[in-house]
Amino acid sequence: MRSKKRITHLDVAKLAGVSTAAVSYVINNGPRPTSPEMRERVMRAIRELDYHPSVLARGLRVQQTNIIGFIAYDYLSTKVFTSFYNATILTSLTMRLKSLSHYVLVYPMDIGQDLGDLEILLRSGLLDGVVVRLVEDSPATDALLEMITATCVPCVCIEQPGAPRFGFSAVSYDDQGGAFEATSYLIAQGHRRIGYICGDMRYLTARTRLAGYQRALVHHGVAYDEKLVCGNSWLPSAARACVAQMMELDSPPTAIFAASDSLVFSVIEELRRQGRRVPEDVAVVGFDDIELATESIPPLTTVHIPLVEIGQRAVDLLIDLIQTEDHISAARLEVLPVEFVQRGTA
Amino acid sequence: MRSKKRITHLDVAKLAGVSTAAVSYVINNGPRPTSPEMRERVMRAIRELDYHPSVLARGLRVQQTNIIGFIAYDYLSTKVFTSFYNATILTSLTMRLKSLSHYVLVYPMDIGQDLGDLEILLRSGLLDGVVVRLVEDSPATDALLEMITATCVPCVCIEQPGAPRFGFSAVSYDDQGGAFEATSYLIAQGHRRIGYICGDMRYLTARTRLAGYQRALVHHGVAYDEKLVCGNSWLPSAARACVAQMMELDSPPTAIFAASDSLVFSVIEELRRQGRRVPEDVAVVGFDDIELATESIPPLTTVHIPLVEIGQRAVDLLIDLIQTEDHISAARLEVLPVEFVQRGTA
DNA sequence: GTGAAAGCGCTAACAA
DNA sequence: TTGTTAGCGCTTTCAC
């Protein structure tokens, strides 16, 4: 890198006794054919010198770096990667991109934060494209999307599609369908008093799941009781408080549907503290299917989100977008199905 | 990026009626002084054209990209970012580097995996430096460090220092001291039968904490009983099994020290399942001080690891290393203190 | 089939 | 004080 003089393709060319162009053709398998014999000479020289091309020089020349940005746009950027969603998606993106010889540059950002720094990055030419995880649809998010549009950097949204007018491709999952199915399951089990623990309602996902819950009630003719809907946070304390409150109702719930698995753990904890058994006294269903869901006793009945597949699809769409030169390929909105997983808590 | 022609410093120079060099001097505040008047003209042209420099071109020229790699070298790279440690460190690194106008490129890697791809990256000139999180000290890790050394890319290790012969700077924390203190605390509370739930013993940290536990016993003259040491996994099921087993001993533990907070949750769960109260019947202490530690009831007594500070220090050391041109500045081994936090479980 | 050379956008040494 | 220009290392058009 430093100190040592860098080996360039010129060194390789000299040693192999060919032109620099030839070296390039060999390395890239084109765009011009090369004789096997020259090929061999070049390869040997490369090995001998331990030559490694400079991405910078190549990038400058071809205007492409094979680096993709992951923009995690969330309320608390300091917690961004400790969140199950972002961590799982980041992992999935990284793996998929690695298999395509691409790298991932992470860029956490607070919702509402100044967009200037990100714009500098996007306009710097460092990134071939970005995937941005969206969690809501406020004006701040619109502003972000607006800015990205202006930079002309290929972009795919994840989890929440941006406003349609931006025309970005997006891959999300069937949040409402999952909530509908989970609730329907509980109804089918004979439950008529079903509590719903909302997550932080600033998140679109929390609202969509609530909508699915409500739609299921209506669909099956079960009365909606707002006393059975509670919470506005992803924190354990909030879930416990909600449970405590609900169970004091004259007609307490016989089942509880929580907007996330981590919420469910607290729900169960509080239920047990009150001496109630899960699922015998109160059935519980979660959402997410986090890793620990199968580890708990009993294992969680929940809704599986295909986060890994989401990351993979996002990568595929993005790479596609980048390759179709006039990247005006129609925006694709993919909504992956979720899967209700019946395990031990309901 | 594409489609639109890129605005270059030449455009700016023309519009401002100055030389391209002048543009560079203004943008970089040097290395030559510029008259305020010209400065103003250039700045205006930049704004007018909405000019953004190309990192690629700049990088090629100055051999510096302001991109740092984060190599997460662990057993299961597919789980890498869902781990509390990596996620927290990544966040900390990213934030610190952002404040220094640097970017982070993530590179998860399985222990023992082929090093070829990483070498290509390191030799590509894309990265100014790397911080690598180490969790053990096997030959595989040595091989990794060997390779990094050969590439001459500035490197700082995190959590575990590499073998001294590589001479890398490292920032870790006082694992053994923390375990010693936690155990000593329990002894001071009058406990003489203290169980220890090991994590996955392939991790150096699991072994070091065990050593701290043992040292504390010896130091305070408490008998060591190997029947009180159990486990070889970070999974909840393992912790529960250990607790179940220990509590059946003729002389069961009155306190349990677990190698991680997540383990503690399972310990408590199992204890409660057996109808025992925490901390009245059995005191419990964890390690890590994860976010949920304060959210549980009762809140966890645990050992706080300054992961955020570790990330920051690593960044500072690395940036320092990069800037001291002849980066042969002596390796610095920093061991940050941990903090025993007495809360509700012991 | 192969080589020479232009140029990607920038910085900094050299001139003036 | 400011302008000119030679590269950084690579790809690819153009000429042979």
What DSSP line would sit under B35-78, residue for residue?
-HHHHHHHHHHHHHHT----HHHHHHHHT---EEEEEEEES-GG
Torsion of CA B163, B164, B166, B168, to 10 degrees: 100
Min Cα–Cα distance to chain B from A223, Å? 34
**pLDDT score, position A327:** 54
pLDDT of residue A3: 45
For chain B, what percent of residues have pLDDT higher than 70?
A: 97
B287-292 long-range contacts, CB within 8 A, separation 24+:
B287/B178, B287/B179, B287/B182, B287/B209, B287/B257, B287/B258, B287/B259, B287/B260, B287/B261, B288/B84, B288/B260, B288/B261, B288/B262, B289/B261, B289/B341, B290/B84, B290/B261, B290/B262, B291/A79, B291/A82, B292/A236, B292/B261, B292/B265
With distances taken from each CA to the C1' atom of nucleotide D3, the closest residue turns out to be B19
Distances (CA, A) of A6 to B87, B115, B145, B234, B325: 35, 21, 21, 45, 16
| Residue listed under structure tokens 């909030």 | A238
Query: Does residue B2 have a pLDDT over 50?
Result: no
Contacts with B3 from chain A: Cβ below 8 Å: 152, 326
- Over the range A49-61, which residues count as b (16 or more CB within 10 Å of their CB) and which as e? bebbbbbbbbbbe
pLDDT in tens, B68-83: 999 999 998 888 888 8
When pLDDT is cut at 50, 70 and 90, the band that residue A58 belongs to is: very high
Residue of B nearest to A77 (CA): B91
The whole-number average pLDDT for the span A136-162 is 95
Distance CA A23, CA A7 (A): 13
Q: Scan for tokens 């941990």, then name that residue.
A: B338
- Give the best residue of A54, A55, A321 to mutate against chain B (max B CB count within 10 A): A55
Would you call B326 an interface residue with chain A, using a CB distance cutoff of 8 Å?
Answer: yes
At what angle are helices B55-62 and A55-62 packed, to 10 degrees? 140
Q: Is there a contact between A56 and B77 if contact means CB atoms under 8 Å apart?
A: no
Residue count of chain A: 346
Q: How far apart are CA B43 and CA B92, in angstroms?
A: 34
Residue A1 is predicted with a pLDDT of 37
What mean pLDDT do residues B55-70 have? Answer: 93
| Nearest by CB: A54 against B2, B54, B124 | B124
Residue B332 is given by DSSP the state -
With a CB cutoff of 8 Å and minimum separation 6, the contacts of B259 are B196, B197, B198, B199, B205, B206, B209, B210, B231, B287
Structural contact between residues A259 and A288, judged by C-beta atoms closer than 8 angstroms? no
pLDDT at A336 over 80: yes
**Average pLDDT over every residue of A123-151:** 96
Q: What is the pLDDT of residue A305?
A: 98
Q: What is the pLDDT of residues B172-186, one digit of tens each?
A: 999 999 999 999 999
Is a pLDDT exceeding 50 seen at residue B1? Answer: no
How many residues does the structure list for chain B?
346
pLDDT of residue B331: 87
From residue A165, alpha-carbon distances to A140, A142, A151, A331 in Å are 15, 10, 16, 10
Interface of B with A in 269-288 (CB under 8 A): 269, 272-273
**Confidence band for B283, pLDDT divided at 50, 70 and 90:** very high
CA angle A70, A66, A108 (to 5 degrees): 15
Residue A234 — very low, low, confident or very high, per pLDDT cuts 50/70/90? very high
Any A CB within 8 A of B241 CB: no
Q: Mean pLDDT throughout B330-341?
A: 94
b/e per residue, A263-296, with b = 16+ CB within 10 A? bbbbbbbbbbeeeeebbeebbbbbbbbbebbebb
Report yes or no: B279 and B312 within 8 Å, Cβ to Cβ.
no
Q: How far apart are CA B334 and CA B169, in angstroms?
A: 8
pLDDT at B36: 82
Alpha-carbon distances, residue B304 vs A294, B205, B260, B266 (angstroms): 28, 14, 11, 19
- For A324, the 3-state DSSP assignment is coil
pLDDT digits (tens, 9 = 90+) for B88-144: 999 999 999 999 999 999 999 999 999 999 999 999 999 999 999 999 999 999 999
Over the Cα atoms of chain B, what is R_g? 26
Which class for B10: exposed (0-12), middle (13-18), buried (19 or more C-beta within 10 A)?
exposed
Beta bridge partners of A157: A132, A170
Q: What is the pLDDT of residue B17?
A: 86
CA distances from A233 to A140, A176, A202, B262 (A): 21, 19, 9, 21
Range B193-221 average pLDDT: 97
Local confidence band at A326 (pLDDT 50, 70, 90 cut-offs): low
pLDDT computed for residue B14 by the predictor: 84
pLDDT greater than 60 at residue A276: yes
Look at A36 and B224; give whichever has higher pLDDT: B224
Do residues B168 and B143 touch, judged by C-beta distance below 8 A? Answer: no
CB contact under 8 A, A327 and B2: yes
Strands (E), chain B: 67-74, 103-110, 129-133, 155-158, 169-173, 194-197, 229-230, 255-258, 283-285, 302-304, 333-336, 339-341
B106–A contact, CB cutoff 8 A: yes
- Quote the Cα angle for A150-A154-A158, to 5°: 105
8 Å CB contact of A82 and B121 = no
* Strand D: positions under 7 A of a protein C-beta atom: 1-5, 7-13
Which nucleotide is at minimal CA–C1' distance from B6?
C9
Shortest CA–C1' contact from B22: which nucleotide?
A: D2
pLDDT, position B250: 96
Dihedral (CA of A136, A142, A146, A149) sign: positive
pLDDT in tens, A293-307: 999 999 999 999 999
Whole-number average pLDDT of chain A? 93
Residue of A nearest to B85 (CA): A82
Is the pLDDT score of B206 beyond 60?
yes
Contact present, A183 and A257 (Cβ < 8 Å): yes
Residues 6+ apart with CB under 8 A from B236: A292, A295, A296, B262, B263, B265, B266, B269
Whether the Cβ atoms of residue A234 and residue A199 lie closer than 8 Å to each other: yes
The DSSP code for B301 is B
What pLDDT, on the 0 to 100 scale, is given for residue A2? 40
What pLDDT was estimated at residue A45? 87
- Residue B225, φ and ψ in degrees, nearest 5: -125, 115
Interchain contact, A55 vs B126, CB within 8 Å: yes
Q: Give the mean pLDDT of A118-138.
A: 96
Tens digit of each residue's pLDDT (9 = 90 or more) over B245-269: 999 999 999 999 999 999 999 999 9
pLDDT of residue B3: 45
Give the pTM.
Answer: 0.93
H/E run at residue A333: strand A333-336
Give the residue from chain B lying closest to A101, CA to CA. Answer: B117
